[in-house]
Structure 1
């Protein structure tokens, strides 16, 4: 169960770009969950999964003596789900997921793009966390901060899109 969990259903075992694959799996799982649960419950679920992940990653790192194994992608799930709980921040029913006016899918895609950018480039505090923190908390923390930044960024871009639409209509 531990390996299945920390590799996000073995998606981290993908030979090329396991972090991107894990993020995509997290997005695919997160869109319907976020629409069904709402942003507050999604946020709470993300925190719960993150706490469990820290413990499981610590156990893995003690056994393997490898810090931040690239096959561990549960941190991508935490970052993506945090971004999804911040950006779309609307309660939807499944019939309205693809309704353009609420911006849910657009913000979810923007969250994915921003999250991958922040997770790969690791600007500012994200990079410092990645380099200085150890153990499961170190593995999870940079992705959580990247998810927070991605959620805020996608929400801001969506607001700019809405303002531009008002301005040009």
Structure 2
């Protein structure tokens, strides 16, 4: 059991900050809340795919800034930094991973797997950020970097397929 799963704090889904931080409630899944939080991003990623790249990036930056606030506030309310149920960071990170990527099941699956890999394994420098930066920004930044690394690989794959 990880430190993110030890306690069962009192979340209040009537508070908009908790509702968003918990990925619309998906973070309350008893097993793999980060995975369910990532899946909760799919409707938002669909809407993101309808935007031009600039507006999609505005959405992602908004999700990041909003996440810094709602995740930080929720962590403060429950008295625990980055509890496993706080999954808005996965929503924003997966959104970044899918920026300018076609909304097709193959890419969604590959992006999902890449993002979960980077989010769970936390290779350097993701692990460094996870361990050293705290508060809402700390909760968000490691997942945004995981999303960026996932996007780099996925974008390269899409480009390679376009020229094959």
Maintained 8 Å contact 1:12/1:72: yes
2:30 to 5, 12, 15: 15
Provide the residue aligned with 2:147 in structure 1. Answer: 147
TM (normalized to structure 2)? 0.83
Q: 2:87 matched to 1:73?
A: yes
SS at match of 1:59: helix
Tell me, yes or no, if structure 1 residue 50 matches structure 2 residue 70: no
Deviation of the 1:31 alpha carbon: 3.8
The whole-number CA distance in structure 1 between the counterparts of 2:59 and 2:159 is 26
Once the two structures are overlaid, the 10-residue window that deviates more, 36-45 or 153-162, is 153-162
C-alpha separation between the residues in 2 aligned to 1:151 and 1:30? 16
| Corresponding position of 1:3 | 18
Q: CA deviation at 1:161?
A: 3.7
In structure 2, what is the Cα distance between the partners aligned to 1:19 and 1:138? 16
Residue 137 of structure 1: how far off its partner (Å): 0.5
Kept after mapping to 2: 8 A contact 1:81/1:147: yes
Mark the structure with the bigger radius of gyration: 1
Residue pair 1:18, 1:70 contacting (<8 A) in 2 also: yes
Residue-by-residue CA offset, 1:69-124 (whole Å, 9 max, x unaligned): 10000000110111111444xxxxxxxx5xxxxxx443232211110110000001
Q: Hey, which of these two has a bigger chunk of helix by percent? A: 1
Does the CA contact (< 8 Å) of 2:37 and 2:88 recur in 1? yes
Q: For 1:105 and 1:64, locate their aligned partners in 2 and report how far apart those are by CA, in whole Å.
A: 37
Q: Which runs of 5+ in 2 are unaligned?
A: 1-15
TM-score normalised to structure 1 length: 0.81
Match of 2:114 in 1: 114
Number of residue-to-residue matches in the alignment: 149
Give the superposition deviation at 1:162.
4.3
Unaligned runs of 5+ residues in structure 1 are 89-96, 98-103
